[in-house]
A and B are shown apart, each in its own frame.
Chain A
Amino acid sequence: MLSLIRSSIRDLLPIFLVVAFFQFVILRQPIPNMDDLLIGAALVVFGLTFFTRGLEQGLFPIGESIAHAFARKGSLVWLLIFAFALGFGTTIAEPALIAIADEAAKVAAQTGAIESDAASMRNYSRGLRVTVAFSVGVAIVVGVFRILKGWPLHYLIIGGYIGVVLITIFAPPEIIGIAYDSGGVTTSTVTVPMVTALGVGLATSIRGRNPLTDGFGLIAFASLTPMIFVMIYGMFI
């Protein structure tokens, strides 16, 4: 545990150095609320320590155990349904996505794409969240299917990039920034380890798959499809 705490401190040290440098040397301001800073720093260190401990002991084994169980069961349909449920379920409640969807509703109201009253903005934002969650569900399904088939990832991803570029031409300019950002925010701190463990676990249980080349890549799909789906959403609403 002590070495974990030490490595947490090492992980967090750069942030404190950067903040201290800019605060004292560039902005030349004192640190406000020194007590809060110290308490917060202690919490962050202990939090990261617990998280990395729990990662090895809880999240990775659970994700891998499920992957092995599905591989043994051999039911493709259930595996794909699970993949969709995991992608959709974890994204729909993601706080970063909720924040981005609300901002997008403001943009849409400002540019006159929708009425600027509260009800239609709420509808727009909810529709956007369902769209993104659906796209992440689809992404995990496609990603899991790819692992089973052993297709090379880069053809699919480069195909996705071409899709993004083509749709960018037709999408309303106001939605582009939000669409591009939505790709990065969909995968949260708990989802990433679970999904990674699922992919690596599947690639390990299926003969002929390499966990390094076939097991990774699920997150890549989950960050790509929301861009496409959000721009399409912006075009049609």
Chain B
Amino acid sequence: MDLATALAHTLYATLHDVFPIVAVVIGFQVLVLRRPIRNAGKSLIGFVYVLIGLTLFLAGLERALFPLGKLMAYQLTSPNFLGGDPVSTEGLVRWQDYVWVYVFAAAIGFATTLAEPALIAVAVKAQSVSGGTVRVWGLRVAVALGVALGVALGTYRIVTGTPLHYYIIAGYVIVVIQTVFAPRSIIPLAYDSGGVTTSTVTVPLVAALGLGLASTVPGRNVLIDGFGLIAFASLFPIITVMAYAQLSEWWSGRHRPQADSKDNIN
């Protein structure tokens, strides 16, 4: 596909995705609120920027990153790369053979999350709302570490074939315990960061990794074991963001012993 066709195609798909939002907003604006939006012209230009930006972004990913990333995911999980027969004499899968897969999962999870536009949006908003106590980069790195940890553990789960819900339920228990101790003001942001991590950049690559792994590891069913990586990637950022807040609270408490550290975060 040449560049112009690809761009037109992506623009159409983006418009299709954005249409319901526009319809709902305009519908309520005209029928219910009956009030003009402040700076309507400027906002509209901004909205067009978002459309253009998303189109270029997705078309670029489709051209550069996705084919290569998916190819790499398949190559790393193929028996050739793993050095012949990954099944030991007892017919068991040795999880140690897949170390590069875990490293790749963590690295690509971390890197794609840093580029995730939805996360940038939430981080920008959080910084402005918190008056700078939550920093854009601090939050984004915390979330990216969570995704890295989650996806790496998720690939380990696919290799070993253990049930998904044990991991997720254990993750919930950690989240609940952390909620008790974390600074109150970070909790909603931490819970939100679970949902924003997995969108345009991360999902296609992580899904390709999961499906590639489930189809090459002996004894795994693609349809049953191939899923679940996204669930890991949405759970672990909650843990790391709360940990980030706990650490920075502890840090500022240590360096300014006079101040009440609980109020610092607000």
Interface centre among A40, A90, A183, A219 (most CB of B within 10 A): A40
Cβ < 8 Å to B, chain A residues 82-133 = 82, 85-86, 89-90, 92-96, 103, 106-107, 110
Name 8 extra pairs, CB < 8 A, besides A50-B52, A154-B179, A193-B118: A14-B111, A18-B111, A19-B72, A43-B56, A173-B224, A181-B229, A212-B134, A219-B196
The binding surface of chain B is classed by DSSP as helix
- Using C-beta atoms within 8 Å of the partner chain, give the interface range for chain B: 35 or more
A selection of 21 A-B contacts at a CB cut-off of 8 Å is A15-B108, A22-B107, A26-B100, A26-B104, A45-B60, A47-B52, A47-B53, A48-B53, A59-B46, A66-B37, A73-B33, A85-B28, A158-B176, A181-B228, A184-B195, A188-B200, A190-B50, A211-B129, A212-B130, A216-B126, A219-B192
Chain B positions within 8 Å of A60 at CB level: 121, 125
Interchain nearest-CB distance for A49 vs B (Å): 7
Q: List the B side residues contacting A233 at CB < 8 Å.
A: none
Chain A interface category by residue count: 35 or more
Q: Which chain A residues (124-163) contact chain B, with CB distance < 8 Å?
A: 152-154, 157-158, 161
B 58-80 to A, binary, CB cutoff 8 A, 1 in contact else 0: 11111111011101100110000
Q: Which residue of A lies closest to B59 (CB)?
A: A43
Inter-chain CA distance A200–B169, complex, in Å, is: 30
Contact B129 A212 (CB under 8 A): yes
> Does chain B have a CB within 8 A of A165?
yes
- Residues of A at under 8 Å CB distance from B? 11-12, 14-15, 17-19, 21-23, 26-27, 29, 31-33, 36-62, 65-66, 69-70, 73, 75, 78, 82, 85-86, 89-90, 92-96, 103, 106-107, 110, 152-154, 157-158, 161, 164-165, 168, 173-174, 176-178, 180-181, 183-194, 196-197, 200, 210-220, 222-223
Residue on B with the closest CB to A54? Answer: B49
Residue of B nearest to A168 (CB): B165
Give bound CA distance, A78 to B201, whole Å. Answer: 35
Chain B nearest Cβ from A164, distance in angstroms: 8
The docked-state distance in angstroms from the alpha carbon of A22 to that of B42 is 43
Main secondary structure of the interface of A (DSSP, over half): helix
Say yes or no: A107-B223 contact (C-beta < 8 A), given A50-B50, A58-B43, A177-B164.
yes
Bound-state Cα–Cα, A215 to B129, Å = 9
Q: Which residues of the other chain, A, contact B53 by a CB distance below 8 angstroms?
A: 46-54
- Cβ < 8 Å to A, chain B residues 12-71: 13, 16-21, 23-25, 27-29, 32-33, 35, 37-39, 42-65, 67-69, 71
